Amino acid sequence: MRLDRRRFLAGSAALGAVGLGIRPAWAKGSVTAAVYPGSWEEAFRGIVAPALDKAHGVQLEMQALYAVDQIAKARAARGQPTFDVFVLDPGPRVSGIEAGVFDKFTPSKLTNLGAVPAGLADEWGVTVAAQVVGIAYNPKKLPPPKDWDDLLKDPWVSRLGLTGFQTTFGTVSIIEIARRFGGSETNVDPFFVEMRKVLSKVATIGTPQSMAGLYQQGQCDVLYTNTQTVSTLKGRGVDIEFVKPASGAVAFFTTMHLAKGAAEPENAYRYIDTVIGRDVQAALIQPPWNFVPVNREVALGPELPMKTLDEMAGFVRHDWTKINPLRAGWIERFNKEVAK
Protein backbone atom coordinates (compact mmCIF):
# COMPACT_ATOMS: atom_id res chain seq x y z
CA MET A 1 0.00 0.00 0.00
CA ARG A 2 1.32 3.37 -0.94
CA LEU A 3 1.60 5.72 2.05
CA ASP A 4 2.23 9.17 0.76
CA ARG A 5 2.71 12.34 2.76
CA ARG A 6 -0.93 13.38 2.33
CA ARG A 7 -2.24 10.09 3.78
CA PHE A 8 0.36 10.08 6.55
CA LEU A 9 -0.59 13.54 7.78
CA ALA A 10 -4.29 12.79 7.65
CA GLY A 11 -3.84 9.49 9.48
CA SER A 12 -1.65 11.00 12.18
CA ALA A 13 -4.11 13.77 12.84
CA ALA A 14 -7.01 11.31 13.00
CA LEU A 15 -5.21 9.09 15.51
CA GLY A 16 -4.52 12.14 17.64
CA ALA A 17 -8.19 13.06 17.63
CA VAL A 18 -9.21 9.53 18.65
CA GLY A 19 -6.74 9.64 21.52
CA LEU A 20 -8.41 12.79 22.78
CA GLY A 21 -11.86 11.21 22.58
CA ILE A 22 -12.84 13.45 19.68
CA ARG A 23 -14.67 12.07 16.62
CA PRO A 24 -12.26 12.28 13.71
CA ALA A 25 -13.57 14.93 11.34
CA TRP A 26 -12.81 12.68 8.35
CA ALA A 27 -14.42 9.52 9.73
CA LYS A 28 -15.63 8.73 6.20
CA GLY A 29 -12.52 10.12 4.59
CA SER A 30 -11.47 13.22 2.82
CA VAL A 31 -10.86 14.55 -0.64
CA THR A 32 -8.25 17.04 -1.73
CA ALA A 33 -9.21 19.36 -4.57
CA ALA A 34 -7.42 22.07 -6.45
CA VAL A 35 -9.45 25.27 -6.45
CA TYR A 36 -8.90 28.69 -7.96
CA PRO A 37 -7.59 31.23 -5.44
CA GLY A 38 -9.84 34.10 -4.42
CA SER A 39 -13.61 33.97 -4.78
CA TRP A 40 -13.66 30.30 -5.80
CA GLU A 41 -11.71 29.26 -2.74
CA GLU A 42 -13.86 31.43 -0.46
CA ALA A 43 -17.11 30.14 -1.95
CA PHE A 44 -16.06 26.50 -1.79
CA ARG A 45 -14.88 26.88 1.79
CA GLY A 46 -18.14 28.50 2.83
CA ILE A 47 -20.66 26.48 0.78
CA VAL A 48 -19.28 23.31 -0.77
CA ALA A 49 -17.19 22.02 2.15
CA PRO A 50 -20.09 22.11 4.67
CA ALA A 51 -22.47 20.55 2.11
CA LEU A 52 -20.04 17.69 1.38
CA ASP A 53 -19.53 17.04 5.08
CA LYS A 54 -23.28 17.07 5.75
CA ALA A 55 -24.19 14.79 2.85
CA HIS A 56 -21.30 12.31 2.96
CA GLY A 57 -19.19 12.96 6.06
CA VAL A 58 -16.29 13.76 3.74
CA GLN A 59 -13.87 16.55 4.56
CA LEU A 60 -12.80 18.87 1.76
CA GLU A 61 -9.18 19.89 1.72
CA MET A 62 -8.27 22.51 -0.84
CA GLN A 63 -5.12 23.55 -2.65
CA ALA A 64 -5.46 27.05 -4.09
CA LEU A 65 -3.88 26.84 -7.54
CA TYR A 66 -4.42 28.52 -10.89
CA ALA A 67 -5.11 26.21 -13.81
CA VAL A 68 -1.64 26.28 -15.34
CA ASP A 69 -0.11 25.52 -11.94
CA GLN A 70 -2.45 22.54 -11.47
CA ILE A 71 -1.25 20.96 -14.70
CA ALA A 72 2.40 21.68 -13.91
CA LYS A 73 2.10 20.24 -10.41
CA ALA A 74 0.36 17.09 -11.64
CA ARG A 75 3.00 16.51 -14.30
CA ALA A 76 5.76 16.92 -11.74
CA ALA A 77 4.04 14.45 -9.37
CA ARG A 78 4.45 11.62 -11.93
CA GLY A 79 1.31 9.67 -11.03
CA GLN A 80 1.23 10.50 -7.31
CA PRO A 81 -0.79 13.72 -7.35
CA THR A 82 -1.06 15.95 -4.31
CA PHE A 83 -4.75 16.50 -5.05
CA ASP A 84 -7.61 14.32 -6.29
CA VAL A 85 -9.64 16.76 -8.40
CA PHE A 86 -8.74 19.41 -10.96
CA VAL A 87 -10.87 22.49 -11.71
CA LEU A 88 -10.02 23.95 -15.12
CA ASP A 89 -11.10 26.28 -17.89
CA PRO A 90 -11.25 24.87 -21.46
CA GLY A 91 -7.69 25.63 -22.53
CA PRO A 92 -6.00 23.94 -19.55
CA ARG A 93 -8.54 21.09 -19.80
CA VAL A 94 -7.21 20.31 -23.27
CA SER A 95 -3.65 20.57 -21.96
CA GLY A 96 -4.51 18.15 -19.16
CA ILE A 97 -5.94 15.59 -21.54
CA GLU A 98 -2.90 15.85 -23.81
CA ALA A 99 -0.53 15.58 -20.82
CA GLY A 100 -2.26 12.42 -19.53
CA VAL A 101 -2.82 13.74 -16.00
CA PHE A 102 -6.53 12.76 -15.81
CA ASP A 103 -8.04 9.38 -15.03
CA LYS A 104 -11.02 8.38 -17.16
CA PHE A 105 -14.25 9.77 -15.72
CA THR A 106 -17.57 7.94 -15.31
CA PRO A 107 -20.41 10.52 -15.43
CA SER A 108 -23.03 7.90 -14.49
CA LYS A 109 -21.60 7.88 -10.96
CA LEU A 110 -23.03 11.37 -10.43
CA THR A 111 -26.55 11.31 -8.97
CA ASN A 112 -27.15 14.92 -10.09
CA LEU A 113 -26.07 14.37 -13.69
CA GLY A 114 -29.67 14.38 -14.97
CA ALA A 115 -30.05 18.04 -14.00
CA VAL A 116 -27.01 19.07 -16.09
CA PRO A 117 -27.64 20.04 -19.73
CA ALA A 118 -26.63 17.46 -22.32
CA GLY A 119 -23.08 17.60 -23.55
CA LEU A 120 -21.53 18.96 -20.35
CA ALA A 121 -20.08 15.63 -19.18
CA ASP A 122 -17.80 13.20 -20.96
CA GLU A 123 -15.14 10.57 -20.40
CA TRP A 124 -12.78 13.24 -18.99
CA GLY A 125 -14.95 15.19 -16.56
CA VAL A 126 -18.04 17.29 -16.00
CA THR A 127 -18.86 20.97 -16.16
CA VAL A 128 -19.44 22.55 -12.76
CA ALA A 129 -19.83 26.22 -13.72
CA ALA A 130 -20.35 28.28 -16.83
CA GLN A 131 -19.00 31.66 -17.80
CA VAL A 132 -20.66 34.11 -20.16
CA VAL A 133 -18.39 36.76 -21.66
CA GLY A 134 -19.40 40.02 -23.30
CA ILE A 135 -18.95 43.77 -22.87
CA ALA A 136 -19.46 45.77 -19.70
CA TYR A 137 -19.85 49.57 -19.64
CA ASN A 138 -20.77 52.47 -17.38
CA PRO A 139 -24.29 53.55 -18.41
CA LYS A 140 -23.85 56.95 -16.76
CA LYS A 141 -20.83 57.81 -18.91
CA LEU A 142 -21.26 55.98 -22.22
CA PRO A 143 -23.96 54.80 -24.61
CA PRO A 144 -24.22 51.01 -24.80
CA PRO A 145 -21.82 49.48 -27.35
CA LYS A 146 -23.51 47.12 -29.79
CA ASP A 147 -20.73 44.76 -30.81
CA TRP A 148 -17.08 43.89 -30.23
CA ASP A 149 -15.72 46.25 -32.90
CA ASP A 150 -17.34 49.23 -31.14
CA LEU A 151 -14.63 48.88 -28.51
CA LEU A 152 -12.09 50.25 -31.00
CA LYS A 153 -14.26 53.24 -31.93
CA ASP A 154 -15.07 56.51 -30.20
CA PRO A 155 -16.46 57.19 -27.67
CA TRP A 156 -15.70 53.75 -26.25
CA VAL A 157 -12.03 53.32 -27.20
CA SER A 158 -10.95 56.37 -25.21
CA ARG A 159 -12.55 54.84 -22.11
CA LEU A 160 -11.47 51.23 -22.84
CA GLY A 161 -9.77 49.05 -20.27
CA LEU A 162 -7.62 46.59 -22.20
CA THR A 163 -6.12 43.30 -21.09
CA GLY A 164 -4.43 40.49 -22.98
CA PHE A 165 -4.53 36.76 -23.64
CA GLN A 166 -3.52 35.53 -20.17
CA THR A 167 -7.06 34.58 -19.24
CA THR A 168 -9.77 32.65 -21.03
CA PHE A 169 -12.10 35.65 -21.08
CA GLY A 170 -9.36 37.90 -22.47
CA THR A 171 -8.42 35.41 -25.18
CA VAL A 172 -11.96 34.79 -26.40
CA SER A 173 -12.79 38.51 -26.36
CA ILE A 174 -9.79 39.44 -28.50
CA ILE A 175 -10.60 36.61 -30.89
CA GLU A 176 -14.10 38.02 -31.28
CA ILE A 177 -12.74 41.54 -31.88
CA ALA A 178 -10.39 40.10 -34.51
CA ARG A 179 -13.30 38.30 -36.17
CA ARG A 180 -15.16 41.59 -36.66
CA PHE A 181 -12.17 42.72 -38.78
CA GLY A 182 -11.76 39.51 -40.79
CA GLY A 183 -9.84 37.32 -38.34
CA SER A 184 -10.66 33.92 -36.87
CA GLU A 185 -10.00 31.83 -33.79
CA THR A 186 -6.57 31.01 -35.22
CA ASN A 187 -5.85 34.42 -36.76
CA VAL A 188 -5.83 37.46 -34.47
CA ASP A 189 -3.62 39.56 -36.76
CA PRO A 190 -6.53 41.94 -37.57
CA PHE A 191 -6.82 42.79 -33.87
CA PHE A 192 -3.20 43.92 -33.78
CA VAL A 193 -3.56 45.84 -37.04
CA GLU A 194 -6.61 47.73 -35.79
CA MET A 195 -5.15 48.19 -32.32
CA ARG A 196 -2.10 50.00 -33.73
CA LYS A 197 -4.47 52.63 -35.14
CA VAL A 198 -6.11 53.43 -31.79
CA LEU A 199 -3.61 52.38 -29.13
CA SER A 200 -2.79 55.97 -28.14
CA LYS A 201 -6.46 56.53 -27.30
CA VAL A 202 -6.96 53.52 -25.02
CA ALA A 203 -7.75 54.60 -21.46
CA THR A 204 -5.78 51.93 -19.62
CA ILE A 205 -4.01 48.59 -20.11
CA GLY A 206 -3.66 46.21 -17.20
CA THR A 207 -3.43 42.66 -16.01
CA PRO A 208 -6.63 40.60 -15.97
CA GLN A 209 -6.68 40.67 -12.17
CA SER A 210 -6.50 44.48 -12.12
CA MET A 211 -9.32 45.26 -14.52
CA ALA A 212 -12.23 45.18 -12.08
CA GLY A 213 -10.34 47.49 -9.73
CA LEU A 214 -9.38 49.88 -12.54
CA TYR A 215 -13.02 50.05 -13.61
CA GLN A 216 -14.20 50.62 -10.05
CA GLN A 217 -11.65 53.44 -9.68
CA GLY A 218 -12.98 55.12 -12.83
CA GLN A 219 -9.79 54.64 -14.86
CA CYS A 220 -11.87 53.02 -17.59
CA ASP A 221 -15.60 52.80 -18.34
CA VAL A 222 -15.86 49.91 -20.79
CA LEU A 223 -14.15 46.52 -20.91
CA TYR A 224 -14.65 42.90 -21.91
CA THR A 225 -15.41 40.61 -19.01
CA ASN A 226 -17.80 37.97 -17.70
CA THR A 227 -21.20 38.25 -16.04
CA GLN A 228 -19.74 37.14 -12.72
CA THR A 229 -17.50 40.21 -12.57
CA VAL A 230 -20.35 42.51 -13.61
CA SER A 231 -22.67 41.11 -10.91
CA THR A 232 -19.94 41.38 -8.29
CA LEU A 233 -19.21 45.04 -9.12
CA LYS A 234 -22.91 45.88 -9.30
CA GLY A 235 -23.32 44.33 -5.86
CA ARG A 236 -20.76 46.85 -4.58
CA GLY A 237 -22.82 49.72 -5.95
CA VAL A 238 -20.68 50.27 -9.06
CA ASP A 239 -22.46 51.65 -12.16
CA ILE A 240 -22.03 48.84 -14.66
CA GLU A 241 -24.18 46.97 -17.18
CA PHE A 242 -23.52 43.86 -19.27
CA VAL A 243 -24.03 43.92 -23.03
CA LYS A 244 -24.53 40.77 -25.06
CA PRO A 245 -22.73 41.61 -28.33
CA ALA A 246 -24.83 41.55 -31.50
CA SER A 247 -22.60 38.80 -32.91
CA GLY A 248 -23.16 36.75 -29.75
CA ALA A 249 -21.98 36.41 -26.19
CA VAL A 250 -19.25 33.85 -25.57
CA ALA A 251 -19.84 30.86 -23.33
CA PHE A 252 -17.17 28.64 -21.90
CA PHE A 253 -17.21 26.10 -19.14
CA THR A 254 -15.23 25.28 -16.04
CA THR A 255 -14.82 21.54 -15.58
CA MET A 256 -13.68 19.14 -12.90
CA HIS A 257 -11.51 16.10 -13.53
CA LEU A 258 -10.25 13.10 -11.61
CA ALA A 259 -6.49 13.25 -11.10
CA LYS A 260 -4.58 10.27 -12.45
CA GLY A 261 -3.69 8.14 -9.44
CA ALA A 262 -6.09 10.02 -7.14
CA ALA A 263 -5.84 8.83 -3.54
CA GLU A 264 -9.59 9.15 -2.88
CA PRO A 265 -11.42 8.57 -6.18
CA GLU A 266 -14.81 7.68 -4.67
CA ASN A 267 -14.77 10.73 -2.42
CA ALA A 268 -13.76 12.73 -5.47
CA TYR A 269 -16.99 11.67 -7.18
CA ARG A 270 -18.97 12.56 -4.02
CA TYR A 271 -17.32 15.98 -4.02
CA ILE A 272 -18.01 16.68 -7.69
CA ASP A 273 -21.59 15.42 -7.31
CA THR A 274 -22.05 17.83 -4.39
CA VAL A 275 -20.76 20.75 -6.46
CA ILE A 276 -23.32 20.21 -9.24
CA GLY A 277 -26.18 19.52 -6.82
CA ARG A 278 -29.16 21.86 -6.81
CA ASP A 279 -28.71 23.33 -3.32
CA VAL A 280 -25.00 24.09 -3.76
CA GLN A 281 -25.52 25.53 -7.24
CA ALA A 282 -28.39 27.67 -5.93
CA ALA A 283 -26.13 29.02 -3.19
CA LEU A 284 -23.21 29.71 -5.56
CA ILE A 285 -25.38 31.83 -7.86
CA GLN A 286 -26.11 34.24 -5.01
CA PRO A 287 -24.02 37.34 -4.24
CA PRO A 288 -21.17 37.77 -3.62
CA TRP A 289 -20.24 34.62 -5.60
CA ASN A 290 -22.46 35.09 -8.68
CA PHE A 291 -21.52 31.81 -10.37
CA VAL A 292 -23.38 30.85 -13.55
CA PRO A 293 -24.94 27.48 -12.63
CA VAL A 294 -25.05 24.25 -14.62
CA ASN A 295 -28.01 22.67 -12.80
CA ARG A 296 -31.35 23.15 -14.63
CA GLU A 297 -33.26 23.10 -11.33
CA VAL A 298 -31.67 26.40 -10.27
CA ALA A 299 -33.58 29.58 -11.18
CA LEU A 300 -31.49 32.04 -13.19
CA GLY A 301 -31.27 35.66 -12.10
CA PRO A 302 -32.24 38.65 -14.28
CA GLU A 303 -28.59 39.70 -14.57
CA LEU A 304 -27.84 36.73 -16.87
CA PRO A 305 -28.39 37.20 -20.64
CA MET A 306 -30.52 34.04 -20.96
CA LYS A 307 -33.66 32.52 -19.53
CA THR A 308 -32.50 28.90 -19.54
CA LEU A 309 -29.14 27.15 -19.45
CA ASP A 310 -29.92 25.47 -22.76
CA GLU A 311 -29.64 28.87 -24.51
CA MET A 312 -25.87 28.70 -23.97
CA ALA A 313 -25.74 26.05 -26.69
CA GLY A 314 -26.32 28.93 -29.13
CA PHE A 315 -23.60 31.16 -27.68
CA VAL A 316 -20.20 31.53 -29.33
CA ARG A 317 -17.83 28.69 -28.46
CA HIS A 318 -14.16 28.12 -29.32
CA ASP A 319 -11.97 25.15 -30.16
CA TRP A 320 -9.14 25.18 -27.65
CA THR A 321 -7.26 22.38 -29.41
CA LYS A 322 -6.60 25.04 -32.08
CA ILE A 323 -6.07 27.98 -29.71
CA ASN A 324 -3.67 26.35 -27.22
CA PRO A 325 -0.72 25.95 -29.62
CA LEU A 326 -0.97 29.65 -30.59
CA ARG A 327 -1.74 31.26 -27.26
CA ALA A 328 1.78 31.65 -25.86
CA GLY A 329 2.81 33.49 -29.01
CA TRP A 330 -0.22 35.75 -28.76
CA ILE A 331 0.61 36.59 -25.13
CA GLU A 332 4.17 37.49 -26.09
CA ARG A 333 3.01 39.56 -29.05
CA PHE A 334 0.43 41.45 -26.95
CA ASN A 335 3.06 42.27 -24.33
CA LYS A 336 5.48 43.46 -27.01
CA GLU A 337 3.14 45.43 -29.26
CA VAL A 338 0.29 46.58 -26.99
CA ALA A 339 1.31 46.55 -23.33
CA LYS A 340 4.85 47.82 -24.00
User: Could you read off the pLDDT of 282-321 as tens digits, one per residue?
Assistant: 999 999 999 999 999 999 988 899 999 988 888 999 999 9
User: Could you read off the pLDDT of 256-283 as tens digits, one per residue?
Assistant: 999 999 999 999 999 999 999 999 999 9
Mean pLDDT (whole number) for 219-234:
94
Domain ranges of the chain: 30-130+252-313, 132-250+320-338
**Start-to-end CA span in the chain (Å):** 54
How many CB atoms within 10 Å of residue 337?
12
CATH number assigned to the domain with residue range 30-130+252-313, chosen from the 4 options 1.10.3720.10, 3.90.1150.10, 3.40.190.10, 1.25.40.10 = 3.40.190.10
Q: Is 15 exposed, middle or buried (0-12, 13-18, 19+ CB in 10 A)?
A: exposed
Q: Does the pLDDT of residue 26 top 50, yes or no?
A: no
Classified by CATH at the fold level, domain 132-250+320-338 comes out as: D-Maltodextrin-Binding Protein; domain 2 (3.40.190)
- Res 236: pLDDT: 92
> What's the DSSP call for residue 292?
B
* Position 83, amino acid: F
Q: Is the pTM of this model over 0.75?
A: yes
Query: Residue 299 and residue 228: Cα distance in Å, rounded?
Result: 16
Do the beta carbons of residue 153 and residue 194 sit within 8 Å? no
